[in-house]
Amino acid sequence: MNKQKILIVDDEPAALEDIVKCFIDSQEPFELFQALDGEKAFQIALKVQPDLVLADWEMPVMDGLQLIGKMQTVETLRDIPVIMITGYMLLPGDLKTAMSVGAVDYIRKPIEKTELLARTKTMLRISTANKTIRKQEEERLLIKLEHQNKEIAIAALHLANYQKRNEELLIEMKKLIPYLNKEGNEIIRKIIINNKSNYENDFLNVFESQFRDIHAGFYERLDFLHPDLTPTEKKICTFLKMNLNTKEIATLLISTPATVEVTRSRIRKKIGLEHFQSLTEYIAGI
Protein backbone atom coordinates (compact mmCIF):
# COMPACT_ATOMS: atom_id res chain seq x y z
CA MET A 1 0.00 0.00 0.00
CA ASN A 2 1.39 3.39 -1.02
CA LYS A 3 1.94 5.85 1.80
CA GLN A 4 -0.09 9.05 1.66
CA LYS A 5 2.14 12.09 1.19
CA ILE A 6 1.85 15.13 3.46
CA LEU A 7 3.73 18.36 2.77
CA ILE A 8 4.24 20.53 5.88
CA VAL A 9 5.17 24.20 5.45
CA ASP A 10 6.16 26.55 8.28
CA ASP A 11 8.85 29.23 8.46
CA GLU A 12 9.52 28.49 12.15
CA PRO A 13 11.82 25.45 12.35
CA ALA A 14 10.66 24.60 15.88
CA ALA A 15 6.98 24.66 14.86
CA LEU A 16 7.76 22.58 11.78
CA GLU A 17 9.63 20.05 13.91
CA ASP A 18 6.71 19.80 16.36
CA ILE A 19 4.24 18.98 13.56
CA VAL A 20 6.56 16.40 12.03
CA LYS A 21 7.07 14.82 15.47
CA CYS A 22 3.29 14.54 15.95
CA PHE A 23 2.99 12.51 12.76
CA ILE A 24 6.03 10.35 13.51
CA ASP A 25 4.81 9.60 17.04
CA SER A 26 1.39 8.62 15.70
CA GLN A 27 3.02 5.83 13.66
CA GLU A 28 0.51 6.52 10.89
CA PRO A 29 1.74 5.39 7.42
CA PHE A 30 2.46 8.89 6.11
CA GLU A 31 5.34 10.05 3.93
CA LEU A 32 6.35 13.50 5.18
CA PHE A 33 7.89 16.40 3.25
CA GLN A 34 8.98 19.73 4.74
CA ALA A 35 9.54 23.32 3.58
CA LEU A 36 10.31 26.61 5.37
CA ASP A 37 8.50 28.89 2.91
CA GLY A 38 5.77 28.80 0.29
CA GLU A 39 8.05 28.94 -2.75
CA LYS A 40 10.06 25.90 -1.68
CA ALA A 41 6.81 24.14 -0.81
CA PHE A 42 5.46 24.84 -4.29
CA GLN A 43 8.55 23.32 -5.92
CA ILE A 44 8.28 20.24 -3.69
CA ALA A 45 4.57 19.92 -4.51
CA LEU A 46 5.34 19.95 -8.22
CA LYS A 47 7.85 17.15 -7.75
CA VAL A 48 6.13 14.81 -5.26
CA GLN A 49 2.39 15.55 -5.83
CA PRO A 50 1.38 15.39 -2.13
CA ASP A 51 -2.03 14.15 -1.02
CA LEU A 52 -2.34 16.98 1.52
CA VAL A 53 -0.58 20.25 2.37
CA LEU A 54 -0.40 21.80 5.85
CA ALA A 55 0.66 25.42 5.40
CA ASP A 56 1.40 28.21 7.84
CA TRP A 57 -0.40 31.44 6.99
CA GLU A 58 2.38 33.99 7.53
CA MET A 59 5.68 33.07 5.87
CA PRO A 60 8.47 34.87 4.01
CA VAL A 61 8.94 34.69 0.22
CA MET A 62 5.44 33.26 -0.27
CA ASP A 63 2.78 32.98 2.43
CA GLY A 64 0.13 30.30 2.78
CA LEU A 65 -2.55 32.09 0.77
CA GLN A 66 -0.11 32.86 -2.04
CA LEU A 67 0.92 29.21 -2.07
CA ILE A 68 -2.71 28.14 -2.49
CA GLY A 69 -3.17 30.70 -5.27
CA LYS A 70 -0.10 29.45 -7.14
CA MET A 71 -1.17 25.82 -6.75
CA GLN A 72 -4.53 26.73 -8.26
CA THR A 73 -2.76 27.71 -11.50
CA VAL A 74 -1.32 24.20 -12.00
CA GLU A 75 -3.73 21.49 -13.13
CA THR A 76 -1.95 18.70 -11.25
CA LEU A 77 -1.94 20.70 -7.99
CA ARG A 78 -5.25 22.54 -7.92
CA ASP A 79 -7.21 19.65 -6.37
CA ILE A 80 -4.71 18.99 -3.56
CA PRO A 81 -6.36 20.02 -0.26
CA VAL A 82 -4.56 22.63 1.86
CA ILE A 83 -5.13 23.03 5.59
CA MET A 84 -4.06 26.42 6.94
CA ILE A 85 -2.14 26.61 10.22
CA THR A 86 -2.34 29.94 12.02
CA GLY A 87 -1.77 31.46 15.41
CA TYR A 88 -2.70 35.02 14.49
CA MET A 89 -5.31 35.15 11.72
CA LEU A 90 -8.19 33.86 13.82
CA LEU A 91 -10.98 36.35 13.19
CA PRO A 92 -14.04 35.12 11.25
CA GLY A 93 -13.10 37.40 8.36
CA ASP A 94 -9.59 35.98 8.20
CA LEU A 95 -10.80 32.39 8.11
CA LYS A 96 -13.42 33.28 5.50
CA THR A 97 -10.65 34.76 3.35
CA ALA A 98 -8.60 31.57 3.61
CA MET A 99 -11.56 29.42 2.62
CA SER A 100 -12.44 31.69 -0.32
CA VAL A 101 -8.91 31.37 -1.69
CA GLY A 102 -9.07 27.59 -1.58
CA ALA A 103 -8.13 26.35 1.90
CA VAL A 104 -10.26 23.38 2.96
CA ASP A 105 -9.75 23.68 6.73
CA TYR A 106 -7.65 25.42 9.37
CA ILE A 107 -5.85 24.49 12.58
CA ARG A 108 -5.02 26.98 15.33
CA LYS A 109 -1.62 27.27 16.95
CA PRO A 110 -0.46 26.02 19.36
CA ILE A 111 -1.27 22.73 17.69
CA GLU A 112 -2.95 19.98 19.67
CA LYS A 113 -1.80 16.54 18.53
CA THR A 114 -5.20 14.83 18.63
CA GLU A 115 -6.85 17.61 16.62
CA LEU A 116 -4.01 17.64 14.06
CA LEU A 117 -4.28 13.91 13.43
CA ALA A 118 -8.07 13.90 13.37
CA ARG A 119 -8.36 16.76 10.86
CA THR A 120 -5.55 15.36 8.73
CA LYS A 121 -7.04 11.87 8.52
CA THR A 122 -10.52 13.24 7.82
CA MET A 123 -9.29 15.43 5.00
CA LEU A 124 -7.25 12.59 3.49
CA ARG A 125 -10.33 10.35 3.49
CA ILE A 126 -12.36 13.07 1.76
CA SER A 127 -9.57 13.68 -0.73
CA THR A 128 -9.26 9.97 -1.52
CA ALA A 129 -13.01 9.71 -2.07
CA ASN A 130 -12.96 12.75 -4.35
CA LYS A 131 -10.09 11.28 -6.38
CA THR A 132 -12.05 8.06 -6.85
CA ILE A 133 -15.13 9.97 -7.98
CA ARG A 134 -13.08 12.10 -10.40
CA LYS A 135 -11.39 9.01 -11.83
CA GLN A 136 -14.75 7.30 -12.36
CA GLU A 137 -16.12 10.42 -14.02
CA GLU A 138 -13.06 10.71 -16.27
CA GLU A 139 -13.41 7.06 -17.28
CA ARG A 140 -17.12 7.55 -17.99
CA LEU A 141 -16.42 10.62 -20.13
CA LEU A 142 -13.63 8.79 -21.96
CA ILE A 143 -15.95 5.91 -22.84
CA LYS A 144 -18.58 8.39 -24.00
CA LEU A 145 -16.01 10.27 -26.09
CA GLU A 146 -14.76 7.07 -27.72
CA HIS A 147 -18.34 6.09 -28.53
CA GLN A 148 -19.07 9.49 -30.08
CA ASN A 149 -15.84 9.39 -32.08
CA LYS A 150 -16.79 5.95 -33.38
CA GLU A 151 -20.23 7.17 -34.44
CA ILE A 152 -18.74 10.10 -36.38
CA ALA A 153 -16.09 7.89 -37.95
CA ILE A 154 -18.67 5.32 -39.09
CA ALA A 155 -20.88 8.04 -40.60
CA ALA A 156 -17.88 9.57 -42.36
CA LEU A 157 -16.65 6.25 -43.70
CA HIS A 158 -20.12 5.50 -45.07
CA LEU A 159 -20.05 8.90 -46.73
CA ALA A 160 -16.59 8.22 -48.17
CA ASN A 161 -17.65 4.83 -49.52
CA TYR A 162 -20.70 6.43 -51.10
CA GLN A 163 -18.44 9.01 -52.68
CA LYS A 164 -16.11 6.28 -53.92
CA ARG A 165 -19.00 4.61 -55.71
CA ASN A 166 -19.92 7.95 -57.23
CA GLU A 167 -16.36 8.42 -58.41
CA GLU A 168 -16.42 5.00 -60.05
CA LEU A 169 -19.68 5.89 -61.76
CA LEU A 170 -18.23 9.19 -62.99
CA ILE A 171 -15.23 7.37 -64.44
CA GLU A 172 -17.62 5.25 -66.49
CA MET A 173 -19.51 8.38 -67.53
CA LYS A 174 -16.28 10.02 -68.74
CA LYS A 175 -15.92 7.18 -71.24
CA LEU A 176 -19.01 8.57 -72.97
CA ILE A 177 -17.41 11.96 -73.63
CA PRO A 178 -16.00 11.08 -77.10
CA TYR A 179 -19.51 10.12 -78.20
CA LEU A 180 -21.28 13.25 -76.93
CA ASN A 181 -21.73 16.68 -78.38
CA LYS A 182 -20.56 19.88 -76.71
CA GLU A 183 -23.73 20.18 -74.66
CA GLY A 184 -23.42 16.58 -73.39
CA ASN A 185 -19.78 17.15 -72.42
CA GLU A 186 -20.79 20.24 -70.45
CA ILE A 187 -23.47 18.30 -68.59
CA ILE A 188 -20.97 15.62 -67.52
CA ARG A 189 -18.43 18.28 -66.50
CA LYS A 190 -21.02 19.94 -64.24
CA ILE A 191 -21.98 16.58 -62.72
CA ILE A 192 -18.32 15.90 -61.86
CA ILE A 193 -17.84 19.37 -60.32
CA ASN A 194 -21.09 19.21 -58.35
CA ASN A 195 -20.30 15.73 -57.08
CA LYS A 196 -16.97 16.90 -55.65
CA SER A 197 -18.57 20.03 -54.16
CA ASN A 198 -21.42 18.06 -52.58
CA TYR A 199 -19.00 15.63 -50.97
CA GLU A 200 -16.92 18.43 -49.49
CA ASN A 201 -20.06 20.11 -48.14
CA ASP A 202 -21.28 16.83 -46.64
CA PHE A 203 -17.85 16.29 -45.14
CA LEU A 204 -18.03 19.68 -43.43
CA ASN A 205 -21.55 19.00 -42.18
CA VAL A 206 -20.47 15.72 -40.61
CA PHE A 207 -17.27 16.94 -39.01
CA GLU A 208 -17.44 20.68 -38.48
CA SER A 209 -20.65 20.45 -36.45
CA GLN A 210 -20.46 17.10 -34.65
CA PHE A 211 -16.70 17.15 -34.11
CA ARG A 212 -16.83 20.66 -32.62
CA ASP A 213 -19.56 19.56 -30.21
CA ILE A 214 -17.45 16.67 -28.95
CA HIS A 215 -14.01 18.32 -29.00
CA ALA A 216 -14.84 21.92 -28.12
CA GLY A 217 -11.96 24.31 -28.77
CA PHE A 218 -9.77 21.79 -30.63
CA TYR A 219 -9.59 23.78 -33.87
CA GLU A 220 -8.90 27.00 -31.97
CA ARG A 221 -6.08 25.41 -29.95
CA LEU A 222 -4.64 23.78 -33.07
CA ASP A 223 -4.67 27.11 -34.94
CA PHE A 224 -3.05 28.88 -32.00
CA LEU A 225 -0.27 26.31 -31.59
CA HIS A 226 0.34 25.62 -35.29
CA PRO A 227 -1.09 28.39 -37.49
CA ASP A 228 0.98 27.30 -40.51
CA LEU A 229 -0.89 24.01 -41.05
CA THR A 230 -2.77 23.77 -44.35
CA PRO A 231 -6.51 22.89 -44.51
CA THR A 232 -5.67 19.32 -45.56
CA GLU A 233 -3.16 18.97 -42.73
CA LYS A 234 -5.78 20.24 -40.28
CA LYS A 235 -8.25 17.65 -41.57
CA ILE A 236 -5.73 14.90 -40.95
CA CYS A 237 -5.17 16.26 -37.44
CA THR A 238 -8.93 16.04 -36.95
CA PHE A 239 -8.90 12.37 -37.94
CA LEU A 240 -5.91 11.70 -35.69
CA LYS A 241 -7.80 13.28 -32.80
CA MET A 242 -10.46 10.64 -33.48
CA ASN A 243 -7.72 7.96 -33.41
CA LEU A 244 -8.30 6.89 -37.03
CA ASN A 245 -5.54 5.00 -38.82
CA THR A 246 -3.85 5.92 -42.09
CA LYS A 247 -6.04 3.64 -44.22
CA GLU A 248 -9.24 5.10 -42.76
CA ILE A 249 -7.97 8.65 -43.25
CA ALA A 250 -7.09 7.86 -46.87
CA THR A 251 -10.63 6.59 -47.44
CA LEU A 252 -12.15 9.77 -46.02
CA LEU A 253 -9.91 12.02 -48.09
CA ILE A 254 -10.43 9.95 -51.27
CA SER A 255 -6.66 9.54 -51.31
CA THR A 256 -4.04 6.83 -50.87
CA PRO A 257 -2.34 5.66 -47.66
CA ALA A 258 1.03 6.67 -49.13
CA THR A 259 -0.17 10.24 -49.70
CA VAL A 260 -1.54 10.42 -46.16
CA GLU A 261 1.80 9.21 -44.76
CA VAL A 262 3.63 11.95 -46.67
CA THR A 263 1.27 14.55 -45.23
CA ARG A 264 1.69 13.12 -41.75
CA SER A 265 5.47 13.46 -42.09
CA ARG A 266 5.02 17.06 -43.16
CA ILE A 267 2.82 17.73 -40.12
CA ARG A 268 5.41 16.16 -37.81
CA LYS A 269 8.08 18.44 -39.27
CA LYS A 270 5.96 21.58 -38.86
CA ILE A 271 5.08 20.68 -35.28
CA GLY A 272 8.68 19.81 -34.48
CA LEU A 273 8.24 16.31 -33.07
CA GLU A 274 11.21 14.09 -32.34
CA HIS A 275 11.37 10.69 -34.06
CA PHE A 276 10.36 8.88 -30.86
CA GLN A 277 7.28 11.07 -30.27
CA SER A 278 3.86 9.90 -31.47
CA LEU A 279 1.95 12.33 -33.67
CA THR A 280 -1.35 10.71 -32.70
CA GLU A 281 -0.62 11.07 -28.98
CA TYR A 282 0.47 14.68 -29.47
CA ILE A 283 -2.72 15.59 -31.35
CA ALA A 284 -4.83 13.73 -28.76
CA GLY A 285 -3.41 16.06 -26.10
CA ILE A 286 -4.47 19.26 -27.85
State pTM to two decimals.
0.51
- pLDDT at residue 250, rounded to an integer: 85
DSSP 8-state secondary structure symbol assigned to residue 3:
P
> Residue 5: which region, alpha, beta or left (left: phi > 0; alpha: psi -120 to 50)?
beta
The model's pLDDT over 164-219, given as tens digits with 9 standing for 90+, comes to 666 676 677 777 777 677 777 777 777 767 666 666 566 656 666 677 777 778 88
CA distance readout (Å), 30 to 6, 50, 120, 127: 7, 11, 11, 15
Q: Considering the domain 4-111, what is its CATH architecture? A: 3-Layer(aba) Sandwich (3.40)
Question: Residue 169 and residue 165: Cα distance in Å, rounded?
Answer: 6
- Beta strand extents in 120-262 (DSSP E only): none
| 3-class SS string, 13-33 | HHHHHHHHHHHHHHCCCEEEE
Q: Which helix (H) or strand (E) holds 54?
A: strand 52-56
* pLDDT at residue 200, rounded to an integer: 57
pLDDT (tens, 9 = 90+) of the chain, 286 residues, equals 578 999 999 999 999 999 999 999 888 889 999 999 999 999 999 999 999 999 998 888 888 889 999 998 888 898 899 998 887 655 656 667 777 777 888 888 888 888 889 889 888 888 888 777 778 877 787 777 677 777 776 666 666 666 666 667 667 777 777 767 777 777 777 776 766 666 656 665 666 667 777 777 888 889 888 999 998 899 899 888 888 889 888 877 778 899 999 999 999 999 988 888 899 989 988 8
Q: Which 3 state secondary structure label does DSSP give 269?
A: helix
Is the Cβ–Cβ distance between 103 and 52 less than 8 Å? no
Residue 206 φ then ψ, to 5°:
-70, -45
| C-beta separation of 251 from 161 below 8 A | yes
Quote the CA–CA distance of 237 and 169 in Å, as a whole number.
30
- Could you tell me if 162 and 199 are in contact, meaning their C-beta atoms sit under 8 angstroms apart? no
Q: Dihedral of the CA atoms 174, 175, 181, 185 (nearest 10)?
A: 0
Q: Where are the domains of the chain?
A: 4-111, 141-284
Buried b (16+ CB within 10 A) or exposed e, 118-156: ebbeebbeebeeeeeeeeeeeeeeeeeeeebbeebbeeb
Q: What is the pLDDT of residues 62-83, one digit of tens each?
A: 888 899 999 988 888 988 999 9
Contacts of 164 (CB under 8 A, 6+ apart): 251, 254
Structural contact between residues 36 and 16, judged by C-beta atoms closer than 8 angstroms:
yes
Question: What is the chain's length?
Answer: 286
